[in-house]
Structure 1
Amino acid sequence: MTGNDAAPRVVVGVDGSPSSYAALRWAIRQAQLIGGTVDAVGAWETLVAYGWSAPMIAPDLDEGVARRKFDQELGEVLGAGQPVEVQRRLVPGNPADVLIDAARGAELLVVGSRGHGTFARALLGSVSERCAMHAPCPVVIVREG
């Protein structure tokens, strides 16, 4: 809790994967149990591709497109009427860094697990693994299903 009269916050990472939707549903149930609120946090990164002539920004990673997709996905998962307040935050940056930063002062950070194998994790790194190692609060990793 950040103050005496502030409700406890549960931060949840939402990235469009089925496991992140399961994490969002889990976070809402947990926030309801503790009388808290949910911060649904997404991250978007702009990737620059270099071609023959000049750098080009990947069009599907534009902030406006990312924001519309994020809002649409949350709307589909949340539906109408939630038992707790859900704040929506889409932040530019590396997903693990964004979530770790958002978790400052939170009761809990909830993330989904995409279930990548050991080899993929070694090559790419894992957002859930980085969050579990570096978050300033307890972390729950939710698998789809």
Structure 2
Amino acid sequence: MTVPQLLLCLSLSMLCISSKPTEKKDRVHHEPQLSDKVHDDAQNFDYDHDAFLGADEAKTFDQLTPEESKERLGKIVSKIDEDKDGLVTVEELKNWIKFAQKRWIYEDVERQWKGHDLNEDGLISWEEYKNATYGYIL
């Protein structure tokens, strides 16, 4: 083996050894964030309020007196307790949080639908969609 070939082999070996490893891909499907608030159990309860009640309901609770808030939370807890045993399990709490988050999505879809279904026939035609979406441009 000649010197240039040896140098070439060494250079290629060093290049392969020092090259950056491939990016590790995350194969886990993460659940969406429950709130856009900072999650800090010791300082900030807004994240928990948003996750537990939903963003709109959390805003309503912020305006209530402590007595009214306790009363409403008691009613919510009875809704969370699916098997009516007087205790809320982790699974029941997870189901409730999922429900609270999905409820906001369904309400938003309903509001958007009403805004686009101009003749209120339960269907959105292409004309209705164009007018609702691009009407101010056309």
**Do they superpose with TM above 0.5?**
no
Bigger share in strand: 1
Larger radius of gyration: 2
Bigger share in helix: 2
Task: Indicate the structure whose relative CO is greater, using CA pairs within 8 Å and at least 6 residues apart.
Answer: 1
TM-score normalised by the chain length of structure 1: 0.23
